[in-house]
Amino acid sequence: MDNLRLQASLIAGVLCLTYAASVSMRARKGREHYLYIGLTASLALWYLSSFGYGWLGLPLLHRLNLAFGVAVPFTAVRFFRAFVDDDNHHMRRLARLSLAGGCVLLFAILTPYYDHVVVATALLLYVFFFLFTALVTLSAGGRSATSHWQRARLRFLAILGGVGGLFTLLEYLPMVGLNVPPVGTVLVLIFLYVLSQSLFRYRLIDVYEVSARLGVLTVLSFILGGLLWGLSKLSGQLFFLHTVAATVVVMLLFDPLRDKVRAWITQVGFRERYDLDLQLKALRRRLAHALEVPELSARLMEGLEHTRRFTDAGLYLADPDLTSYSLAGHLGPTPPERLELGPARPLLDRLSSRGSVALDVTNRELKEASQRGERREAETLYDVVHTMEAMHATLCVPIRSDDPMLAGFLCLRDEHTHDGFTPDEVEMIEALGGQIAVSLENSRLFSRMKDRDRLAALGEMSAGLAHEIRNPLGAIKASAQYLTEPDTPVPPAQREFLDIIVEEVDRLNRVVSSFLDYARPSQECTDPVDVNAAVQRALQILGPECAEADVTLAASLDADVEPVRVDPERLRQVLFNLVQNAAQAMPDGGSTFIETHARIRQDAARRIRPWVEIRVVDTGPGIPEEVRNKLFVPFVTTKQRGTGLGLAITQRIVNAAGGSIEVRSEPGNGATFVIYLPCAVDAAAASEEAGEAPLPARDAGEAPAEPERGAPVVARERAMVRTTNR
């Protein structure tokens, strides 16, 4: 055993010197790195002096071995002190006590009684006391740390240091006559390697993987060694079959043992991370069954709140027009309801190119860019920081779909920590973002299926209505009109009821026509249509009706708009529906304004194309949020005599033409319906024919004149209407 211990001491000394050299050659070193070099160097000298004394037996080497044994806990205390605050009086007092105790032991080593058992026992107690007191103080500092990452790191170092200290203590037992096998040497080397990895790996998941791997290998090594030792003892010697049998046992135990050891290391060293991982996995399973966006948002916020790791959260999803992002759900204080594409462009670009964006990292990059004098980069980073602070976020995670444009992003914050989220937590949250993207795609598919089923049902119903209702209605109306003729002998008091019959028959006929219009398949139009001409024709038809309702109807037409491919009758139907709805929403009178604009936008495939924007703006009472969210749902209406199909038909006509429609409104500030229709002329082809360079991608989705940041969209539209009307 003495020969085995000498060989183990020599190997351990060389490896400790290697650890010290590898850290010293790193480019960037801090205080903890230099103290780690001192700790590994003292261990190396202690192991090498042990080897020298065992080999040569010189008293001087024995004294040196004892002196280096005193240096090990002394350097360990200072190493662990580097991870807590300098004003920690417990660590400061412990460092002074270790210095005083070390001086007393060094004096005893210089006396002729250096090899007495009392000195060896005092050295063993010195090592035990200061190593484990330092670890207890380190663990207490971790519990009081304000940083989540620092708490996890200090706890990990305390556990790792406790294991390493126990193994180091085993190496001192032969000094007091307890001759144990040199297993502590192997484990000390493993401990030092993991400790070095924890210094340079700033992700807990990396340290966790290294620890788990080494833990598995250590356990398997002891199992293999124990099996070989036991088989050799039973048979009196070691055979080749013994090695094969032990290897087969290790191979069978490897996978289940690896999972067990990893789970144990995670639960002990990274408990918070382990709990968060389990909770986020459960949340991803719940989101997988959400088929509608409100349900998805509610489950997401409920799950994030249940983790107790997030105090603020916001889910932003892209609007149908791809020019803004709207808040779909939030946790904590309410963030901005809407994020325009222009002001949010710097943040969205970083989310698209780099993935997740952390506020602390961006602040650090902003400071570095300012110091280097990179003004443009600093301005971009400042916009990113400003946008994230406005959304109460310290982390933004992208939600990607098959389209090049982001489907949305998730904003998170934990106000209990100062350094945001650790990189391994960001990876888990990014996996959650991937599940949100899948659920959003599922919700879109589910919505299309519902629309298809609804249209199929309406088609069958419309066919039945047209046959079963219109014929009797025609007979009823004809009979009532016959009775209202002047030469028909009907008392005047009863003619009023006949007029009501005719009026109600007409209303029922309109309801049936709405059913037919909504269920009728869309017909593609191949001929380009002049949008301005369609608007002017609508003004001519609707002008008298609006004037009778004391509603001012005006228009501002952009002469540069290109033709669009849409059925002109259906386009006029869209304008009729929107203007009539606006007039009916203003029983006391008001103003309705129609605008057309030429826009350059990106389509869903991220191609630059010309579009036509049609705005129908009114000065009515506005639309409440609970109604605004269901405006385009069939059969949803706020009118006493409405069918709830007008806006649904409008949306279907616009979508069939390849465009989109959205509503912007605030209670008391009127409503604005915005229609985007793709032009019949492709922008890329037009640019090539004109010999012009294509527009830069960064301008995609933006209006030619970006509104001032921070100004409410609806308020700007109201001001525009009032100025034009004057």
Query: β-strands 528-529, 408-413: how paired?
Result: unpaired
Q: Is the pLDDT of residue 334 over 70?
A: yes
Least confident of 187-196, 286-295, 407-416, 704-713: 704-713
Cα distances (angstroms) measured from residue 427 to each of 63, 103, 397: 52, 49, 10
Tokens in use for 369?
């860019």
Cα distances (angstroms) measured from residue 247 to each of 6, 459, 542: 28, 72, 90
Half-sphere exposure of 397 (CA within 13 A, CB side): 21
pLDDT the model gives residue 194 = 67
Least confident of 300-309, 478-487, 543-552, 710-719: 710-719
Label residue 482 by pLDDT band (50, 70, 90). Answer: confident
Label residue 665 by pLDDT band (50, 70, 90). Answer: confident
Tokens in use for 339?
């994020």
Name the H helices within 568-712: 568-584, 625-628, 646-656, 683-690
User: If you average pLDDT over every residue of the chain, what do you get?
Assistant: 76
Label residue 596 by pLDDT band (50, 70, 90). Answer: very high
Name the more confident of 493 and 124: 124
For domain 276-443, which architecture applies?
2-Layer Sandwich (3.30)
pLDDT the model gives residue 316 = 93
Mean pLDDT of 222-232: 70
Asked if residues 399 and 408 have their Cβ atoms less than 8 Å apart, the reply is yes
pLDDT the model gives residue 5 = 67
pLDDT the model gives residue 226 = 72
The single residue listed with the structure tokens 């979508």 is 655
pLDDT the model gives residue 635 = 62
Asked if residues 55 and 5 have their Cβ atoms less than 8 Å apart, the reply is no
Sign of CA dihedral 614, 618, 622, 623: negative
Least confident of 88-102, 371-385, 437-451, 676-690: 676-690
3-state secondary structure of 145: coil
Nearest to 522 by CA among 620, 451, 609: 451
Least confident of 290-294, 356-360, 598-602, 711-715: 711-715
Q: Express each pLDDT in 512-562 by its tens digit.
A: 776 666 556 555 556 788 899 989 888 888 888 888 888 888 999 988 888
Measured between alpha carbons, how far is 176 from 123 in angstroms, rounded to an integer? 10
Q: Express each pLDDT in 17-74 by its tens digit.
A: 888 888 888 777 777 888 888 888 988 898 888 888 888 888 888 888 888 888 888 8
> How many other C-beta atoms lie within 10 A of the C-beta of residue 296?
24
Torsion (CA) 86, 362, 155, 40 in degrees, nearest 10: -70
pLDDT the model gives residue 617 = 92
Name the more confident of 659 and 416: 659
Strand partners, 374: none
Label residue 638 by pLDDT band (50, 70, 90). Answer: low
Length of the chain as a residue count: 726
pLDDT the model gives residue 688 = 43
Measured between alpha carbons, how far is 675 from 670 in angstroms, rounded to an integer? 17
Asked if residues 683 and 584 have their Cβ atoms less than 8 Å apart, the reply is no
Least confident of 198-202, 645-649, 650-654, 676-680: 198-202
Asked if residues 76 and 36 have their Cβ atoms less than 8 Å apart, the reply is no
Question: What does DSSP assign to residue 524?
Answer: -
* 638: amino acid identity, one letter: T
Least confident of 336-350, 662-676, 692-706: 692-706
β-sheet with 551-556: strand ranges across: 551-556, 590-602, 608-618, 671-678, 660-665
Question: What does DSSP assign to residue 438?
Answer: H
pLDDT the model gives residue 102 = 87
Of all residues in the chain, what percent carry a pLDDT higher than 70? 69
pLDDT the model gives residue 639 = 63
Asked if residues 611 and 564 have their Cβ atoms less than 8 Å apart, the reply is no
Question: What does DSSP assign to residue 310?
Answer: -
3-state secondary structure of 276: helix
Nearest to 710 by CA among 264, 344, 287, 281: 344
**Which of the four CATH numbers 1.10.760, 3.90.1720, 1.20.1070, 1.10.287 does domain 2-184 have?**
1.20.1070
From the centroid of its chain, how far is CA 520?
A: 42
Tokens in use for 281?
């996995």
Tokens in use for 547?
């004037």
pLDDT the model gives residue 699 = 37
pLDDT the model gives residue 301 = 92
Measured between alpha carbons, how far is 207 from 148 in angstroms, rounded to an integer? 16
Mean pLDDT of 429-450: 85
Least confident of 158-172, 316-330, 416-430, 678-692: 678-692
pLDDT the model gives residue 398 = 92
Name the more confident of 567 and 191: 567
Q: What are the b/e assignments for 482-516, b being 16+ CB within 10 Å?
A: ebbeeeeeeeeeeeeebeebbeebeebeebbbbbb
pLDDT the model gives residue 300 = 92
Q: Is the pLDDT of residue 714 over 60?
A: no
Cα distances (angstroms) measured from residue 149 to each of 101, 269, 292, 308: 34, 13, 36, 16
Class of the CATH-defined domain 524-725? alpha beta
Break the chain into its structural domains and give their ranges.
2-184, 201-269, 276-443, 524-725
pLDDT the model gives residue 411 = 93
pLDDT the model gives residue 409 = 92
Q: Is the pLDDT of residue 437 over 80?
A: yes
Q: Is the pLDDT of residue 173 over 80?
A: no
Label residue 113 by pLDDT band (50, 70, 90). Answer: confident
Name the more confident of 332 and 255: 332
Tokens in use for 643?
């069918």
Q: Is the pLDDT of residue 364 over 80?
A: yes
Measured between alpha carbons, how far is 219 from 214 in angstroms, rounded to an integer? 9
Mean pLDDT of 110-118: 84
Least confident of 221-225, 272-276, 362-366, 653-657: 221-225
Torsion (CA) 579, 629, 318, 652 in degrees, nearest 10: -50
Least confident of 115-119, 237-241, 558-562: 237-241
Mean pLDDT of 149-164: 64
Phi, psi of 42 (to 5 degrees): -65, -40
Q: What are the b/e assignments for 373-399, b being 16+ CB within 10 Å?
A: eeeeebebbbbbbebbeebbbbbbbbb
Task: Classify 236 in phi/psi space as left (phi over 0), alpha (psi -120 to 50) or beta.
Answer: left
pLDDT the model gives residue 720 = 32
Mean pLDDT of 151-180: 63
Mean pLDDT of 98-126: 86
Torsion (CA) 58, 63, 66, 72 in degrees, nearest 10: -100
Strand partners, 314: 330, 411
Q: Is the pLDDT of residue 631 over 70?
A: yes
Measured between alpha carbons, how far is 131 from 260 in angstroms, rounded to an integer? 29
What's the whole-model pTM score?
A: 0.48
